[in-house]
Amino acid sequence: MASRTRLAGYFKRLGWMVAIWVLSVVTLGIFASVFRMFMSLAGLTA
C-alpha cells in the first residue's frame, strides 16, 4: 500500500506541475495578445 500512496503522490505533483505550466503559457499568450493590440493601436505594426 505504501508504494501505491507514493505513486499517487507522484502523479498528484506531476498534475500540479502540468497545470501550472499550462496556466503560465495561457497567461503569457493573453498578455502577448493584449500587448500586440496596444502596439497596433499606437500605430506600431509588425
pLDDT in tens, 17-34: 999 999 999 999 999 999
What is the domain partition of the chain in residue ranges? 18-46
Contacts 24+ apart (CB under 8 A), 39-43: none
Residues 6+ apart with CB under 8 A from 39: 45
Residues 6+ apart with CB under 8 A from 45: 39
State how far the Cα of 13 lies from the Cα of 19, in Å rounded to an integer: 10
Mean of pLDDT values over 5-26: 94
pTM, whole model, 2 decimals? 0.71
SS3 42: coil
